[in-house]
Amino acid sequence: MVTNKVALVTDTTACIRPEQVEKYDIKVVPVNFIFGDKVYRDGIDMSPTEFYARLREVEETPTTSGSLPEPYLEAFLKAGRKASNILCITISAKLSAMFNSALLAKEMAKESLPKVTIEVLDCGTAAAGEGLVVLAAAKNAASGGDLAEVVQTARYVMTRVSVFADLDTLYYLVKGGRVPRAAGLVNSVLKIKPIFTISQGEAHTVALPRSTKGVLKQILRIMERKVSKGQRFHVAVMHADALDKAKLLESQISAKFNCTELFITEFTPVMGVHTGPGLVGVAFYGED
């Protein structure tokens, strides 16, 4: 029986907290990753705590597996039981093939869900930035917004959300072939902790602090530059097995900014495959 106007579908790269998923009945597609000779479903077969503990103990490097449309189709079929419209929000298409997989699933769902309208949106960002876009859309849907209104809300946040995160090490990016080995050597020798952002769907380095204290100061400075007087902020602090750093950053943000929403969320294993443990960062946007 249809009970909602719009259902939200996303994937585990959005780093949405389980209680938020439950509250807004968001359908989350588990992205697969490979560790050793076994394929794991992100968020189902291995928790972030287990993943990062294993990552610290072994030499093997996990990888992500190819994105397929079938998991999205399954999510669409479940969402279509309760809603007459579905909005699927994915990570930037420049970072992953998930957007294309969701589009294929949309076509595959037409026969089974002939009366359900499905929209697929590339949010242009990733991690908790993607999560904030999904949550804003889900809140609008929960308040009774129709599909056009929910999509408009998602696009509104997309144009405003920023993501900044610190890499504790370049080791995993080097092992994954994403940066040259020379860069990893420089990181090791100089102890730099690069802060990167995601802009126009791609990752870019914005600062090179050398300590955790320097990282947190730099992130706060970046946020300050984007603040207008009296502006209210929605903020997600994210971490990869670095809860103490995340709590410290959360407390500093709470003291410094006017936050409508502020919470800590974990960097999911499928994201941690590329960054390794130790990451801390923020995703945020300000209200007009």
pLDDT of 181 > 60? The answer is no
pLDDT at 171 (0 to 100): 65
Structural domains in the chain plus CATH codes: 4-31+67-158 (3.40.50.10440), 162-286 (3.30.1180.10)
Strand 83-90 vs strand 232-239: parallel, antiparallel, or unpaired?
A: unpaired
pLDDT, mean of residues 173-187: 43
Would you state the structure tokens that stand for residue 101, as one six-digit string?
């997989």
Q: Strand order of the sheet with strand 32-35?
A: 38-41, 32-35, 63-64
Mean pLDDT of 89-102: 93
Position 184 pLDDT exceeds 80:
no
Residues 288, 100: Cα–Cα separation, whole Å? 32
**pLDDT over 70 for what percent of the chain?**
88
What average pLDDT is seen over the chain? Answer: 87
Does the pLDDT of residue 255 top 50, yes or no? yes
Q: Average pLDDT of 42-55?
A: 91
pLDDT in tens, 126-160: 999 999 999 999 999 999 999 999 999 999 999 99
Q: 15's torsion region: left (phi>0), alpha (psi -120 to 50) or beta?
A: left
Give me the count of residues in the chain.
288
Predicted pLDDT at 4: 66
pLDDT band for position 30 (50/70/90)? very high
- Cα separation, 75 vs 68, whole angstroms: 12
pLDDT at 1 over 60: no
Per-residue pLDDT, 214: 81
Question: Between 261 and 175, where is the model more confident?
Answer: 261
Is 0.85 surpassed by the pTM of this model?
yes
User: What are the pLDDT digits (tens) for 256-283?
Assistant: 999 999 999 999 999 888 888 999 999 9
Per DSSP, the three-state class of 115 is coil
CA distance 120 to 75: 13
d(CA 266, CA 14): 10
116 compared with 178, residue with greater pLDDT: 116
State how far the Cα of 285 lies from the Cα of 89, in Å rounded to an integer: 17
Per-residue pLDDT tens over the stretch 215-249:
899 999 999 998 887 789 999 999 999 999 999 99
Predicted pLDDT at 170: 67
pLDDT in tens, 60-90: 788 887 789 999 999 999 999 999 999 999 9
Cβ count near 200 (within 10 Å): 9
- Residue of 196, 173, 193, 190 whose CA lies nearest to 273: 173
- Best-predicted range by mean pLDDT (52-66, 85-99, 186-200): 85-99
Question: For the chain, how many helices (H) and strands (E)?
Answer: 11, 13
The 10 Å Cβ neighbour count of residue 126 is: 24
> Six-digit token pair at 282?
């923020």
